[in-house]
A and B are shown apart, each in its own frame.
Chain A
């Protein structure tokens, strides 16, 4: 009996040890996987990384848009991008590995504390670019009102202004003659210019909404198809602009572009 008990105890201990081993192996696998995943996210190897700012409230207004955009970028342009979306918080160190970030908003109010404002201020001064897309379609209150206050704090020296239609943003890939969107709240884009480049671009036309599809491949948000296409082109141009700056305003392009626009 005693032996049996002892035996049982030994089996129990072995079993426990085995479970511990399995747990440790599992932990090791998970940690390794996470490390590799983290390395993959961090190591972008010169590729374009789509990063989106996470904040308290409805930050993820168009969760699948990037999947569509990345496929389109791959087939249409020479841009090499990382397929995964990087989600970052304003004070994450990884923000400074992401030269292009998106702030999407709808009806929820975006609130950033002083430290986060300071971080974003440093971010744009060091060469980062922020694209803000408001899908609410409402001007003057809610997200629009809040984000304008935040822009004032992030870029006090370079206030927000309308981006002229002849700016490089509108010709970085497609030649655009007007500003479109899934909804057309404004017939213009706005931005804060640091040096010769817009470091903040603000659209109120739900540009990401134009890309959003359900699992069956149907567009979720209704829109005139021509308008949707124009919205897609504009968003693509903004991404190209973040990677090439005012390249298309260079003298060498002027005569070609003027001829095409005739």
Chain B
């Protein structure tokens, strides 16, 4: 009996503890039928290969999902947007969407079914996603979906013979003399076990040939490595020979343009002695982000005596042999400033190398006379490339510049000719001239006003360009002016001319040049001040003239902290879009630049002529789904079952606040008390 009483007490005790924890009973909603969202891709690419495959999708949906009591189906169709599809609309559904946005379709489906039951997504698509969201980004975001996606792909059967350059991937930025790769995606049908030549052409000349070894039908990639030796806009095309019985010949060629940015201009600057001329020019070149400067200035000559050990001096050896034999050819420009070659054990061949550097290699040479007259180069190979015949005479006269070629780009300080002339007339006074006479093909830009000695001369020597300055006081253009603008501008333009560079614009607009209709163009505008330093808070306006002559002005915001501004424009019309970018800073006009974009009346969908099985498989793998084929699709084999999720709770019941529980406890207490009393245990 005692055991029974013990059991009673323990039971009551446990009941009391349970009630302290306020137990809740959850009652779940029982679902026997799974809910499935069917996403049918109706973009144009679904009919590109074989329209029958799209019809097969519709047939499968109709036969296996509609009126199927074992499954709750929600029909959607998607291309650039996703829309609900009514059962009666299925038969008339056409593949005509302009884009394929799988990401948007999956995201919207998830949002639509938020708080509702969805057990699987069945995606009927060719996998040719073609919006700005990359395939990789989609796959990375899929872990948020938490719904299995069953991808159903086309089968490529009975596809007509064709070779199609479906896509060309170009690097965002290409620099001159720097390797860049161009990737062509080529769809091949009906040419199994064949080797096909693929040509990369520039202005109708073949510059590279690669061979595509086709084993089976499908999508192939082929890449070309280029290193353009010119800066600017260069036209290219990728071409494949046409073969008999091809479905289309026009898709064997694809034209495109590349804007080749010049790499940094590499300048080697040799100066015979520390001077203000060196100091000013070096600072100017160093401040220019387009220039990579290596300079040597001779701080001490052999006759100079220093009363300390070499370790206390910052002097480094002047690597004559290295510079004039190997390194020189890695530079775009060489500067001799008051540099007396005869002070060093310079092999005569080195001067020949300098001549070849300009004459044969097409590089540039700037020579500035100082205390050492340029006549030291007479009877040397350097004399052949000098624009002047120098004398050993130095005139210490003060002089003003008399500009002979105000129209020359080097002397353009303003776009307005009258204003430019005014600037040129008011240049500060200079001093000291190394007297010289000009050679036949030399262009004299400026001479001394009274004595008529050439001061700034230029000439084209062989493939290269040479400039000669016969005064060492050009720094006066900076220090003798209200601001150093003219000095900086003069050198900027001189280097631009010498190196034949197009890069030194204060405002530079860049973008891909050719598009298909419906694309968006990402426009980048770089803005620099007159000293070529990036400006981050300039006012940048983009004037867009559309093919129908409608105009639009867009204020372009800064993107990152390096003077780069960016915007995106939608290209809804085919034809030519003209873009003019204007920049100003503190009400000061900085410059403008223009480009035009060609928009072809070809939709992005027409580029996709195959099935991207890999992408579809990746989507399924990421979401615990499966990749299936439309030919063998069988809903029953998928074995989709209703998932119980937390949101499936029908109701919750609080046990602790039920009266009968407390009644039961009281009864138990009473029974226990009664029995104890009856058996005389109290």
Q: Which residues of A contact B (CB under 8 A)?
A: 39-40, 42-48, 75-80, 96-97, 99-100, 122-123, 125-128, 171-175, 195-197, 240, 242-248, 250, 252-253, 256-257, 260
- Chain A residues with Cβ below 8 Å from B287 are 195-196
- CB contact under 8 A between A46 and B316, given known A240-B274, A244-B278: no
CA distance A248 to B296 in the complex (A): 10
Give the residue among A47, A100, A128, A247 with the most B Cβ atoms within 10 A.
A247
B560 within 8 A of A: no
A80 near B432: Cβ-Cβ < 8 Å:
no
B283 near A244: Cβ-Cβ < 8 Å:
no
CA distance A174 to B272 in the complex (A): 19
A46 near B299: Cβ-Cβ < 8 Å:
no
CA distance A150 to B300 in the complex (A): 36
- CB contact under 8 A between A175 and B313, given known A48-B275, A99-B279: yes
B295 near A123: Cβ-Cβ < 8 Å:
no
B314 within 8 A of A: yes
B311 near A260: Cβ-Cβ < 8 Å:
yes
- Chain B residues with Cβ below 8 Å from A100 are 276
CA distance A48 to B475 in the complex (A): 13
Q: Which residue of A lies closest to B478 (CB)?
A: A127
CA distance A174 to B371 in the complex (A): 25
- Chain B residues with Cβ below 8 Å from A123 are 479
B305 near A79: Cβ-Cβ < 8 Å:
no
A126 near B371: Cβ-Cβ < 8 Å:
no
Stretch at the interface among B391-399, B503-511, B663-671: B391-399
CA distance A122 to B483 in the complex (A): 7
B249 within 8 A of A: no
- Chain A residues with Cβ below 8 Å from B421 are none
The listed residue (A39, A126, A248) touching B398 by CB distance below 8 A is A39
- CB contact under 8 A between A122 and B398, given known A46-B432, A96-B476: no
Q: A42-B431, A80-B273, A173-B313 are in contact. List 8 more A-B contacts (CB 8 A).
A: A44-B431, A47-B371, A48-B274, A78-B299, A99-B276, A123-B479, A174-B308, A246-B286
Q: Which residue of A lies closest to B277 (CB)?
A: A46
- CB contact under 8 A between A173 and B301, given known A46-B370, A127-B478, A247-B295: no
- Chain A residues with Cβ below 8 Å from B487 are 127
B298 within 8 A of A: yes
Distance of A41 from chain B, by nearest CB (Å): 11
B482 within 8 A of A: yes
- CB contact under 8 A between A245 and B279, given known A44-B431, A175-B312: yes
A197 near B305: Cβ-Cβ < 8 Å:
no
A46 near B479: Cβ-Cβ < 8 Å:
no
A43 near B279: Cβ-Cβ < 8 Å:
no
The listed residue (B282, B297, B315, B476) touching A97 by CB distance below 8 A is B476
Distance of B28 from chain A, by nearest CB (Å): 71
Distance of A178 from chain B, by nearest CB (Å): 13
- CB contact under 8 A between A43 and B283, given known A78-B272, A126-B483, A171-B314: no
- CB contact under 8 A between A127 and B479, given known A46-B370, A78-B301: yes
B649 within 8 A of A: no
Q: Which residue of B lies closest to A171 (CB)?
A: B314
A127 near B280: Cβ-Cβ < 8 Å:
yes
Distance of A105 from chain B, by nearest CB (Å): 24
- Chain B residues with Cβ below 8 Å from A196 are 283, 286-287
B130 within 8 A of A: no
Of the A-B pairs whose beta carbons lie under 8 Å apart in the complex, a sample of 24, sorted by A's number, is A39-B398, A45-B371, A45-B431, A45-B472, A48-B275, A75-B304, A77-B299, A78-B273, A78-B300, A79-B273, A80-B275, A123-B479, A126-B481, A126-B482, A126-B483, A127-B487, A174-B314, A175-B313, A196-B286, A196-B287, A243-B274, A246-B286, A250-B295, A260-B312
- CB contact under 8 A between A78 and B298, given known A127-B484, A173-B313: yes
- CB contact under 8 A between A242 and B304, given known A45-B472, A253-B314: no
- Chain B residues with Cβ below 8 Å from A247 are 282, 295, 297
Q: Which residue of B lies closest to A252 (CB)?
A: B294
CA distance A47 to B473 in the complex (A): 10
The listed residue (B294, B301, B397) touching A250 by CB distance below 8 A is B294
- Chain B residues with Cβ below 8 Å from A173 are 299, 313-315
- Chain A residues with Cβ below 8 Å from B308 are 174
The size bracket of the interface on B is 35 or more
CA distance A196 to B276 in the complex (A): 16
B282 near A45: Cβ-Cβ < 8 Å:
no
CA distance A248 to B518 in the complex (A): 55
- Chain B residues with Cβ below 8 Å from A126 are 478-484
- Chain A residues with Cβ below 8 Å from B316 are 252-253, 256-257
B232 within 8 A of A: no
- Chain B residues with Cβ below 8 Å from A122 are 482-483
B480 near A44: Cβ-Cβ < 8 Å:
no
Q: Which residue of A lies closest to B292 (CB)?
A: A251
A125 near B483: Cβ-Cβ < 8 Å:
yes
Distance of A246 from chain B, by nearest CB (Å): 7
CA distance A127 to B473 in the complex (A): 13
B306 near A245: Cβ-Cβ < 8 Å:
no
- Chain A residues with Cβ below 8 Å from B53 are none
- Chain A residues with Cβ below 8 Å from B299 are 77-78, 173, 240, 244
CA distance A248 to B297 in the complex (A): 10
- CB contact under 8 A between A46 and B314, given known A77-B299, A99-B280, A126-B483: no
CA distance A80 to B396 in the complex (A): 15
- Chain A residues with Cβ below 8 Å from B431 are 42-45, 97
B428 within 8 A of A: yes
- Chain A residues with Cβ below 8 Å from B276 are 46, 48, 99-100, 243
The 7 closest A-B pairs by CB, nearest first: A46-B472, A243-B274, A43-B396, A46-B370, A45-B432, A171-B314, A78-B273
B338 within 8 A of A: yes
Distance of A227 from chain B, by nearest CB (Å): 15
CA distance A247 to B338 in the complex (A): 17
CA distance A48 to B398 in the complex (A): 17
Distance of B255 from chain A, by nearest CB (Å): 43
B476 near A45: Cβ-Cβ < 8 Å:
no
The listed residue (B275, B294, B482, B484) touching A46 by CB distance below 8 A is B275
Distance of B278 from chain A, by nearest CB (Å): 7
CA distance A171 to B315 in the complex (A): 9
Distance of B334 from chain A, by nearest CB (Å): 16
Distance of B349 from chain A, by nearest CB (Å): 24
The listed residue (B286, B294, B297, B398) touching A43 by CB distance below 8 A is B398
A243 near B479: Cβ-Cβ < 8 Å:
no
- Chain A residues with Cβ below 8 Å from B483 are 122, 125-126
- CB contact under 8 A between A46 and B300, given known A96-B479, A244-B279: no
Give the residue among B308, B311, B314 with the most A Cβ atoms within 10 A.
B314
Q: Which residue of A lies closest to B271 (CB)?
A: A244
Interface residues of B in 471-505 (CB under 8 A from A): 472-473, 475-476, 478-484, 487
CA distance A125 to B479 in the complex (A): 8
CA distance A77 to B315 in the complex (A): 11
CA distance A195 to B397 in the complex (A): 33
CA distance A80 to B303 in the complex (A): 13
Distance of A91 from chain B, by nearest CB (Å): 15
CA distance A135 to B306 in the complex (A): 27
B396 near A45: Cβ-Cβ < 8 Å:
yes
- CB contact under 8 A between A44 and B432, given known A99-B479, A175-B312: yes
Query: What does the 1/0 interface line of B94-127 toward A look like (CB < 8 Å)?
Result: 0000000000000000000000000000000000
